[in-house]
Chain A
Amino acid sequence: MQNTCFFCNYKALQVILVLIFTFSPAISNASELNVYSGRKAKLIKPLFDRFHAETGIKVNIVTAKSDALIKRIEAEGESSPADIFITVDAGRIDRAKKMGLLQNIDTTYMNISKNYIDKDKKWVGLSKRIRTIIYSKKNVSNNEITKFEDLGKNNWKGRICVRSSNNIYNQSLVASLIINHGEKKAEKIIKNIVENFAKKPSGNDRAQITAVAKNECDVAIVNHYYYIMMLNSKDEEKRKIAKQVDINFLNQNDRGAHVNISAIGIAKYSKNVANAHKLIIFLLSKESQEWYAKVNNEYPVHENASTTDLLDSWGKIKLDDSVINKLGDLNTNAVKLMDRVGWQ
């Protein structure tokens, strides 16, 4: 009996210590905004700093994969300190909406195309990224592939590289095919493409580009900005690799290239709705858009914002943007489809 009492005191002391040190204030502050961002800090924090300088509103940021953040906001429920949610994929922001995690945005003063605004006004796009192909300059001629569906043809057997089906960019890509072709036909197309894989998916988009340069395959499916990043890399090795491949945009004669967006929404239980709107409007301003897009070599959603010279040089690209609003709906179908056809 002596012993347990001794420890009683010890335990109480310990609990107090823990309370003091580990409970950092989790209370929302009116002059701050809490952003849960699936986009890397480096690609957005400078803008937040500028926002802070201009408006005096401090922006706190937590980064993680969009999926994890969604889970977190969901678990946090009404007590969630989240004000803003940023993702790098249309499917994910749509999921957040479907889970009831977002509230209405007043888009009255937001000057962007309707395709990049949620039909229920729960989210707004911030930038565009195209998922397309790069190909080996040596082994593939320009314009040999004009449609995504071409990749399923027999002559491409063992020549295609792409990253895992776990990746949300691929999932949205497949979702867009389901929307455009219907699930049955889409499954056939994807199946054919998967059978043409040169190897089991591994690594991310940059690894696919490297694989093409190393002659492990001739075509890779990537987001366009990865290619540009390698072209501009500080590492000479990477630049050399990028020079051996070229990029092509597909389906220009029908629906347009597959486009995805990074998007922003306001958390349902945000206590700072007014400030949240201020931030969104700030991010949609011409200057912000230019910085935001350029820093990652993406396309801005703002109609008049300029892009990098390289992107300019590629001219106007036809985009399959009418399906953006639906990509989220078909995410689960896409994942299951990919599982069924063995896209690992």
Chain B
Amino acid sequence: MVPFIFLASSIFIPFNDNWHHIVENVLLDYFVNSLSLAIGVGFCTFIIGTTTAWLTSVYDFPFRKIISWLLLMPLAMPAYIIAITYVGIIDSTSFLPDIRNLFGAIIMISLVLYPYVYILARGAFLEQSKELHENSQILGASQFQIFLKVSIPMARPAIILGVTLAAMEALADFGTVEFLGVPTFTTGIFRTWFGMNDTVTATQMATLLLSIVFIFVFIEQQSRKKVRYSENIKTQSKLNYRITSKKNNFFIAVICIFPIAFGFIIPFLQLIYWSIFISNESWDSDFFSIVNDTLLLAFLASIIITIISLLITYIKRFSPKSITNKFMQIITLGYAIPGPVVAIAVLIPFAALDNYINQILVVKFNFSLGLIFSGTFFILIFAYCIRFLTVSSRTISSGLESISLATDDAAKSLGASTKNILIKIHFPMLKTSLLTSFLIVFIDVMKELPLTSILRPFNFNTLSVKAFELASDEKIADASNAAIMIVLAGIIPVILITKNILGKRNKV
């Protein structure tokens, strides 16, 4: 709560010189670039996501099942890693266009975020009934027309949700735009805060950015509600796969393979090549201690965040009107806030707290504890909570929602105590959601960059920070080792999550 108050209060501090400077010179650039990034990514992920979702829902072609899975692989690839890789590839050739610009950033981010739209659109398409499609065909519509005029409009809430999520992540991105040299709000905030050492102006910019972000958040929450309602149409039969002629099959498979290839396979192979043949960094004990540290951190954070989400979800279920619940609702807006902003919002209050405590200790007991909160993992995990609590609690929440309150009542009427209800009924049904939540947070923490870089304690480095440092130093090939480890650590969770999501729907 404190971080938000802190941010909000900055609005009231009068604007200083730096602010005017920014407004006159660069604010427009930041604004235009950030907005273009969000809209561009939204648009591209829409195209890639809905097309692949449609093709894998409606058509049958060789390797369809594998391709449907592989289309989610880019989720394991952080956007900045893929940007670094392609820059490395492009730099060593002379004919490929330079991607160190807004356009490049949009493409890079879209390549790894389209799975959001893919999953949601695919889910929506599969819910659409066969009758609907056949009806449209009788009325003379071609497949493409059905796609455009029937399926997409009906799947609109799901698609809007996916696109908005992608746009928000694009807005919050720091690593990719910093590396590609695109001045956006997030890089601007970073620059003002650190470069010009102006916390006040930086905070004001952060607040401005957040107001824009909250518009997206609003859209996203509205569409989320509609998605829930639309999933209740179960009376008609689900879509069956149709087989088309062999000529079209090949074409379709190729279209679907494109995003997989560019979003995952090509970068991954390139990273492996660099790692084996070119990299100066060796897979030595230093490296593995970083791997160790990163995995440990991700693991710890995932467990803590999953547990907190579980608590929040239960509080929401049993006392929906309590203040705690409202409080939690606000906290969960944290996912929309870019990393550097969270770092500011978290570091300053906690460091102040530490100093305050130490002052008291010094006066009373004549010794200091050093930095209790802000110098240890506490602050890092706290910041991760702000960033990732939402996605985790939403996952668990949707799992818990499938257990109707009537089920709780039924168990009570059969004499079960609350403890029994939780253990015998809730937990078995929540197992999948808990695991999914854990995995999602795990991947996100592994990929996280700006927060970790700013807030990490002594002698602690993570793969993401190391990879970015090396890449910023133009040691792109050297960064490949760390990059590969991040992607590998992400693949297994992505596969497991995919199995859950697609498995549920793949009953057709």
A–B interface present (Cβ within 8 A): yes
Q: Which A residues form the contact surface with B (CB < 8 A)?
A: 2-4, 6-7, 10-11, 14, 18, 21-28, 34, 40, 60-65, 67-68, 70-72, 75-81, 95, 99, 164, 166, 168, 171, 199-207, 210, 214, 234-235, 237, 332, 335-336, 339-340, 344
Q: A62-B456, A62-B458 are in contact. Are A204 and B472 (CB under 8 A)?
A: yes
Closest to A5 in B: B418
Q: A6-B418, A28-B370 are in contact. Are A77 and B351 (CB under 8 A)?
A: yes
Q: Which residues of A contact B355 (CB under 8 A)?
A: 76-79
Please measure, in the bound complex, the distance between the C-alpha atom of A283 and the C-alpha atom of B504, giving whole angstroms: 62
The answer to whether B499 has its CB under 8 Å from any CB of chain A is: no
Interface string of B456-468 (1 = CB under 8 A from A): 1111110000000
User: CB distance A166 to B191 under 8 Å?
Assistant: yes
Q: Which B residues form the contact surface with A (CB < 8 A)?
A: 18, 21-22, 25-26, 29, 87, 91-92, 94, 98, 100-101, 180-181, 183, 187, 191, 193-197, 278, 280, 300, 304, 307-308, 311, 314-315, 318-319, 347-348, 351-352, 354-355, 358-359, 368-372, 374-378, 381, 418-419, 453-454, 456-461, 469, 472-474, 477
Q: Which residues of A contact B368 (CB under 8 A)?
A: 27, 78-79
Q: Max chain A CB contacts within 10 Å: which of B25, B354, B418, B474?
A: B474
Q: Which residues of B contact A64 (CB under 8 A)?
A: 453-454
User: CB distance B278 to A235 under 8 Å?
Assistant: yes
User: CB distance A7 to B314 under 8 Å?
Assistant: yes
Q: Which residues of A contact B25 (CB under 8 A)?
A: 336, 339-340
Q: Can you list 30 A-B pairs, Cβ within 8 angstroms, ordered by A?
A: A3-B318, A18-B378, A18-B381, A21-B300, A22-B376, A24-B377, A26-B375, A40-B473, A61-B458, A63-B469, A65-B194, A67-B195, A71-B454, A76-B351, A76-B354, A77-B351, A78-B355, A79-B354, A79-B370, A201-B181, A203-B181, A206-B473, A207-B91, A210-B91, A234-B280, A235-B278, A332-B196, A340-B25, A344-B181, A344-B183
User: CB distance A214 to B459 under 8 Å?
Assistant: no
Q: Which residues of B contact A25 (CB under 8 A)?
A: 370
Closest to A67 in B: B194
Q: Which residues of B contact A335 (CB under 8 A)?
A: 195-196
Nearest chain B CB to A136's CB is how many angstroms away?
A: 15
User: CB distance A60 to B459 under 8 Å?
Assistant: yes
User: CB distance B181 to A202 under 8 Å?
Assistant: yes
Closest to A339 in B: B25
User: CB distance B181 to A200 under 8 Å?
Assistant: yes
Please measure, in the bound complex, the distance between the C-alpha atom of A68 and the C-alpha atom of B344, giving whole angstroms: 11
Q: Which residues of B contact A336 (CB under 8 A)?
A: 21, 25
5 nearest A-B residue pairs (beta carbon): A67-B194, A202-B100, A202-B181, A206-B474, A75-B351
